[in-house]
Structure 1
Amino acid sequence: MTSSATWAQEALLPADLGAGLLRVDLGPGVVAGFTTRHGGVSPAPWSSLDLGTSTGDEEARVRRNREQLAGWIGAPVAFATQVHGATVLALGGAERTEWESVTPPLSAGEADALVTAEAGLGLGVLVADCVPVLLVDPVARVAGVAHAGRRGLVAGVVDRAVDAMVARGASRDGLRAAVGPAVCGACYEVPEALRDEVTAVVPEAWATTASGTPALDLPAGVLARLSAMGVPADRVERCTRTDPDLFSHRQATAAGEVTGRQAGVIVLA
């Protein structure tokens, strides 16, 4: 199900975000969405809302772009240093104070998932083909994000993020998720042996490209893991490889260029 919602909590967001944030409905008291490449200050080739710190973009510009994002959702946004693993970091009041400082840190630590029960602290997950996953129990007031690339999906990062949220008071029956833009199965070509390796763990990720070569459908794999845990999910069905409004590492690499990072973001308002 595709979601770019106009929803009951719309008053919590600025009236005009242009094309910068694809909003999703994850329940009352929750602000959530996925950024595009629009609305920031970075020049080409990152044009323009580059939120990543490993892209070659200037740190000062990335900080300004993150400030822009914080202004959109009404809260500072914490990010991790992502390593394609399954480590989950829990953030709370102390981290909110740190991320609200005049010069907030650029990373909360090394992890591929973040969870919090702290209102007013945004969580962000950086991607440029991998799958950004937003999670929340809007009643128990616990939120999380996960970075599900090929290795993270196999390592169980989505499952571990859900487990960490339940450990902090979320109910599996109350959880909701949104799966953001990512490279689609028709565009994510991989060697056949790699497809076999991944689908031995997550069979639903099996795919072929538009030309019939072996591929992986990571969003389908993420949705399957969420379904297995009983978590309903909406999917924003936009492929980063073919959508010019989104950053794509694969597209940039094929063109001999570098690219920025967009984000999935969520905050308990």
Structure 2
Amino acid sequence: MFSWRAEVRPGVWVAFTDAAAGNLALHVGDDPAQVRLRRRELELAAGLGTRRFQYMNQVHGSDVAVIDPAAAAAGPAQTALTADAMVSRGGPLAVMVADCVPVVLVGEPAAGAPLLGVVHAGRPGVASGIVHAAVARLRALGSGRISAWLGPSICGNCYEVPDAMRAEVAALVPATWCSTSRGTPGLDLPAGVRGQLEADDVTVEYSGGCTLEDETLFSYRRDSNTGRFAGPVWTVGSDWTND
């Protein structure tokens, strides 16, 4: 179910699922009942009890949603917000991808629950600064030190784009400029995200492999009729949970 999972701080967990967990997206033509069942299985595997992960309707934009922990309470009426990043005061969050960079953020405030964040960092989002926006929102909520975990995504060796697109994105985020393993124009989105995080004084503690090269993960470039895996972050076994 998990390609990677770790307790990154006492009571704070970060993970990235794999294809064995099944498709977790409602927008790819899958049976919604089966998707919700898989989401619930993920929540139980994470030890959330009656709590729910908050998901987004991801649109490659630059909006950051602030989630009240009550939004992750039990019940089938959980509503996905249209945004490409979310932050919360301890409420469980999840981002979905199939080649874009899933970014998980954990901020450490002076007191109280840890501040959690997730970012859907595809090519348009990296270019428009969605990562910077999410970090700024965490800081506005009182976060001191912030750390990041980058899940699997398409790598620069594999992500071939037109030369004009490479130039356009790299003009905004220079670290994305690259050539693929075939010598064609490419974009290195993970490098771009790492550069943005480092510029914001965020420590990157983990970076996953390439989705296109790993058949245990979903990849839109490999198969456009594919599912989405998730990058969840949550708290368990602490005073921050409400179970």
- TM-score when normalising by structure 1: 0.82
Root mean square deviation, CA, Å: 1.4
Task: Count residues with an aligned counterpart.
Answer: 230
Match of 1:240 in 2: 211
Is contact 1:22–1:35 with CA below 8 Å preserved after alignment? yes
More strand by share: 2
Match of 1:231 in 2: 202
1:56-102: CA deviation from partner (whole Å, max 9, x where unpaired)? 110001001100111122231110100001100001133123xx21x
Is contact 1:27–1:138 with CA below 8 Å preserved after alignment? no
The answer as to 2:222 corresponding to 1:251 is: yes
The separation in 1 between residues aligned to 2:229 and 2:208, in whole angstroms, is 15
Which amino acid in structure 2 is aligned with residue 148 of structure 1? A
1:158-194: CA deviation from partner (whole Å, max 9, x where unpaired)? 00001111111111xx111101100000000000000
- TM-score when normalising by structure 2: 0.91
Runs of 4+ in 1 over 2 A off after TM superposition: 234-237
Is contact 1:179–1:233 with CA below 8 Å preserved after alignment? yes
Residues 1-269 of structure 1 correspond to what in structure 2 (within 5 A)? 19-39=1-21, 49-75=22-48, 76-97=52-73, 100-101=74-75, 103-105=76-78, 107=80, 109-117=81-89, 119=90, 121-140=91-110, 141-171=114-144, 174-253=145-224, 258-269=225-236
Which amino acid in structure 2 is aligned with residue 116 of structure 1? S
Gaps of 5+ in 1: 1-18, 40-48
Which amino acid in structure 2 is aligned with residue 128 of structure 1? A
Shift of 1:143: 0.6
Gaps of 5+ in 2: 237-243
DSSP-derived class of the 2:231 partner: strand
Which amino acid in structure 2 is aligned with residue 111 of structure 1? A
The separation in 1 between residues aligned to 2:227 and 2:35, in whole angstroms, is 10
DSSP-derived class of the 1:248 partner: coil
Is contact 2:87–2:137 with CA below 8 Å preserved after alignment? yes
Is contact 2:61–2:83 with CA below 8 Å preserved after alignment? yes
